[in-house]
Amino acid sequence: MATVEVLTSEVVAPAEETPAGAVWLSNLDLAARRGYTPTVYFYRRSGDDEAAFFAADAVRDGLARALVPFYPLAGRLGLAGGGEDGRVQIDCTGEGAVFVTARSGHYALDDLMNEFVPCDEMRDLFVPQTPAPNPPCALLLVQVTHLRCGGVVLGMALHHSVVDARSAAHFAETWASIVRGAPAGDAPVPPCFDHKLLAARPARAVLYDHPEYKPEPAPAAPPAHAATASTYASAIITLTKQQVGALKAACAGASTFRAVVALVWQCACRARALPPEAETRLYSMIDMRQRLSPPLPPGYFGNAVIRTSTSATVGEVVSNPVGHAARRARAVTSQGDDYARSLVDYLEGVDAMNLPRSGISRAHLRAISWLGMSLADADFGWGSPAFMGPAIMYYSGFVYVMNAPGKDGAVALALSLEPESMPEFRKVFADEVARLGL
């Protein structure tokens, strides 16, 4: 089994004094999955000076300077009033982020990219070990691992109660720009920590049912091969620009995300051999920053995504053309300001810290878009990542839709299914791509 040797581990404080006090967290922050989101960035060595490539001092110094504008990440998760029943918040203590350096004598970058799938082993190798995600825990942990070939893996773990994927990318891009030479005070997009912009309204108005935030009904009997969070198989599949274009044409010009997810949904239903009358639900997480009225500031730093879903019978999904599933997917991704405000008001009336956060039924799928997150902006001065993606999948039925690095217009899918379903999914997906002329 591959191992990584940890060389150093320290806490890096902001390079300058930062504001103290507390940052109030919104209901969307509290409703986020309680835990850390681990991601990995793979970098191919560039330049002749191996010692200068991702040199620890340069990366560490850049981190310290990035923590000045992003000072809440140097704090700790806290509780208002200091009591056990207090509302979760960020205590801006200025203590710092965990910074680890390591090396792997086993992996070269090309071997790693051929072998990598999001799983516990990869997270354990390339992302720092995280503490229990409860107050007073650190909010950011990073690890720089130098590979046998001279390449580097940058692993990050950010607490999900504090950031969503877009905010995490915002921080990584700013950190990278500082290491490249930009002044720390000139963050490309200044972060905004005013989570009161997503506060519940004085006169709450819950206009929708919001089933995604309620427990699923217990099945009459568990499936014979029910998967748990620790029993999934994961894969990374790439669609070329031409394949994406042809798929979108088959879906009457649907967005890339909707078209790709529609095909994955169809193929997952077939691979799982679900009965035609069974209900299948497509869940998603939608970024509401630009959908609110008025929109959130460009640098809003926190959780601004909401869970949505649509349901159909398996027979409806698999027996119709893929464009039908894409139209269904549109229902998951078209919510606006009134829906988001209704959700925030709904969450004000429930225990947002203890919402259902377990896996989903074997019939369902949860799709998340990481499209539009520019990998070029994660260039620390030695080139853009050769790959970026999640380090783990939390449970079976997850799919991330991402830009494929270095391939303009291509899309990478990171997905997880039950181990017994994954081989059939790969076959069905490849057959369907071929059948559609993709």
pLDDT in tens, 385-424: 999 999 999 899 999 999 988 767 899 999 999 999 999 9
Domain identity same for 263 and 410: yes
pLDDT of residue 334: 78
Domain assignment present for 271: yes
Q: What tens digit of pLDDT does each residue of 191-238 get?
A: 999 999 999 999 999 999 898 888 765 544 444 444 444 589 999 999
The mean pLDDT of 155-165, rounded to a whole number, is 96
Q: What angle do helix axes 165-180 and 56-66 make, rounded to 10 degrees?
A: 120
CB of 371 within 8 A of CB of 323? no
Strand partners, 42: 153, 387
Which DSSP category does 183 fall into?
Answer: -
Q: What percent of the chain stands above pLDDT 70?
A: 93
β-strands 5-12, 305-313 pairing: unpaired
Active site residue 379: yes
- Residue bearing the bigger pLDDT, 83 or 121: 121
Active site residue 160: yes
Q: What is the CATH number of the domain that holds 310?
A: 3.30.559.10
Which helix (DSSP H) or strand (DSSP E) does residue 281 occupy? strand 279-287
Domain assignment present for 23: yes
pLDDT band at 23 (very low <50, low <70, confident <90, very high): very high
State the CB neighbour count (10 A cutoff) for residue 358. Answer: 10
Of 61, 124, 194, 379, catalytic: 379
Q: What tens digit of pLDDT does each residue of 164-187 get?
A: 999 999 999 999 999 998 775 566
CB of 239 within 8 A of CB of 247? yes
pLDDT band at 69 (very low <50, low <70, confident <90, very high): very high
With the CA atoms of 86, 88, 90 and 96 taken in that order, what torsion angle do they form, in degrees rounded to the nearest 10?
A: 100
Q: In angstroms, what CA-CA distances link 44 with 79, 151, 153, 225, 237?
A: 42, 5, 9, 40, 21
Give the integer Cα–Cα distance in Å for 172 and 128. 16
Domain assignment present for 153: yes
Domain identity same for 21 and 159: yes
Question: What is the residue whose two structure tokens read 């200068």?
Answer: 52
pLDDT of residue 219: 47
Closest CA to 208 of 83, 335, 314, 118: 335
Of 91, 146, 159, 160, catalytic: 160
- The per-residue DSSP string of 295-343 comes to PPPTTB-S--EEEEEEEEEHHHHHHS-HHHHHHHHHHHS---HHHHHHH
Domain identity same for 40 and 177: yes
Domain identity same for 221 and 191: no
pLDDT of residue 1: 62
Domain assignment present for 52: yes
Domain boundary (152, 167, 198) is at 198
pLDDT of residue 332: 72
Contacts of 334 (CB under 8 A, 6+ apart): none
pLDDT of residue 253: 78
Give the integer Cα–Cα distance in Å for 171 and 387. 18
Cα of 259 vs its chain's centroid, Å: 20
Domain identity same for 163 and 287: no
Domain identity same for 158 and 14: yes
pLDDT of residue 438: 65
Q: In angstroms, what CA-CA distances link 112 with 101, 148, 151?
A: 18, 11, 10
Please say if the pLDDT value at position 50 is more than 70.
yes
Environment class of 189 (CB within 10 Å of its CB; exposed 0-12, middle 13-18, buried 19+): middle
Q: Which domain holds residue 162?
A: 7-198
Please tell me the least confidently modeled range out of 36-40, 229-233, 285-289, 343-347.
Answer: 229-233
Domain identity same for 19 and 137: yes
Sheet containing strand 387-390, edge to edge, reads 5-12, 97-103, 140-146, 152-159, 36-43, 387-390
Cα of 380 vs its chain's centroid, Å: 21
Domain assignment present for 148: yes
Please tell me the least confidently modeled range out of 6-15, 43-52, 219-228, 369-378.
Answer: 219-228
Q: What tens digit of pLDDT does each residue of 315-374 get?
A: 999 999 999 999 988 877 778 899 999 999 999 988 877 776 666 788 999 999 999 776
pLDDT of residue 223: 47
Which helix (DSSP H) or strand (DSSP E) does residue 89 occupy? strand 88-91
CB of 104 within 8 A of CB of 155? no
Domain assignment present for 133: yes
The mean pLDDT of 232-249, rounded to a whole number, is 93
Domain boundary (198, 231, 257) is at 198
State the CB neighbour count (10 A cutoff) for residue 199. Answer: 14
Domain identity same for 175 and 287: no
Domain identity same for 169 and 42: yes
CB of 364 within 8 A of CB of 48? no
pLDDT of residue 221: 41
Round the average pLDDT of the chain to a whole number and report it.
90
pTM summary value: 0.92
Domain assignment present for 41: yes
Domain boundary (143, 173, 198) is at 198
Domain count, the chain: 2
Q: Where are the alpha helices (DSSP H) in 349-421?
A: none
